[in-house]
A = this chain, B = another copy of it.
Amino acid sequence: MKVTQQSVTSTFQAIQDEICLSLEQCDGKAAFHEDLWKREGGGGGRTRVIRDGNIFEKGGVNFSEVHGTCSPALKQQLDSHADSFFATGVSIVIHPKNPHVPIIHMNIRYFELSDGVCWFGGGIDLTPHFIDVNQAKQFHTGMKAVCDQFDTDYYPRFKKWADDYFFIPHRNETRGIGGIFFDHLGKGADSNKSIFDFTCAVGRTFAPLYTSLVNEKKALPFTSEQKDWQGLRRGRYVEFNLVHDRGTRFGLVSNGRTESILMSLPSHANWEYMHSVEENSPEEFTQSKLIKGIDWINA
């Protein structure tokens, strides 16, 4: 059985609603500000931004549903001759105030071409400013749990995919501790109902898992030096998003809504020439773990 565009759209919107509610409850102060927008070629979105909260310094939980004619550039990128496309998704990036609370990113998306080809993609990845092995284990255990409900091959495949994708070559380091990443799932299959269910399960895993990570760390005190370190880690996040992230770059060059795309950037970021970390510090430990292939569940 194939899912309908309508069912994907309405379920993704419901997931956006659930997540916003859950994050607002977790923050206890800030509320999401919503901007509705329309795309000239077809479709539009609901951009929701939270800022200056108790917990969340800046974050976005965006839904979009866009459709229209495939430009030559899009056809080339998709390796397709289809005339038109339909795409819908939810995209999240949250930058917390407290450097002990990790940055998180989540995305779920559905793509359908006029020739009938369709697929799902998505993922969640965590970027702690200070890596905590227990929390990394807890996060990856959550990622494995949602994968295992559908296919025990998913977690190892999608964990490796995240390690490879969320990597900053010019720094030779991963963006954070990874998570899961998948794309083109269900392409060519007669039924994509189970893939849809998996994608929604990933979306619905986000809020309880992240708020639990937040709650464990939110009360920890932090120093201005730790805030500076957070700024440097955020700088790397900016580098990844602007230099490498396919979604960001595609959005910017394809005339997407810039303010919605760049909601992923932090309110403040720092750069320092040749920054070096102190020996045996939590910063040094974090830097040493920004590598691919760590088995966090058994770390």
Contact = CB atoms under 8 A, between A and B. Distances in A.
A159 interface: no
Given A243-B242, A243-B249, A270 B271 contact: no
B235 A243 contact: no
Interface of A: 35, 49, 51, 58, 60, 169-171, 231, 235, 238-239, 242-243, 249, 252-253, 255, 258-259, 261-263, 265-274
B268 A51 contact: no
B238 A242 contact: yes
B267 A268 contact: no
A213 to B, nearest CB: 24
A243 B60 CA distance: 21
B271 A235 contact: no
Contacts of A239: 242, 262
Contacts of A60: 273
A112 B49 CA distance: 50
A262 B258 contact: no
A273 B58 contact: yes
A273 B252 contact: no
B258 A263 contact: no
A61 to B, nearest CB: 12
B271 A231 contact: no
A266 B271 contact: yes
Contacts of A242: 238-239, 242-243
A123 to B, nearest CB: 22
Contacts of A261: 170
A163 B167 CA distance: 34
A270 to B, nearest CB: 6
22 contacts: A35-B274, A49-B273, A49-B274, A60-B273, A169-B252, A235-B265, A238-B238, A238-B242, A238-B269, A239-B242, A239-B262, A242-B243, A243-B243, A243-B252, A262-B271, A263-B273, A265-B271, A267-B271, A268-B268, A268-B269, A268-B270, A269-B271
A58 B275 CA distance: 13
Contacts of A259: 273-274
A267 to B, nearest CB: 6
A269 B267 CA distance: 8
A208 B238 CA distance: 34
A105 to B, nearest CB: 16
B270 A267 contact: yes
Count chain B CB atoms within 10 A of each CB in A243, A252, A253, A271 and give the residue with the most. A271
Given A267-B272, A269-B269, 12 more contacts: A169-B253, A170-B255, A170-B258, A238-B238, A239-B262, A243-B243, A259-B273, A265-B271, A267-B270, A268-B270, A269-B270, A269-B271
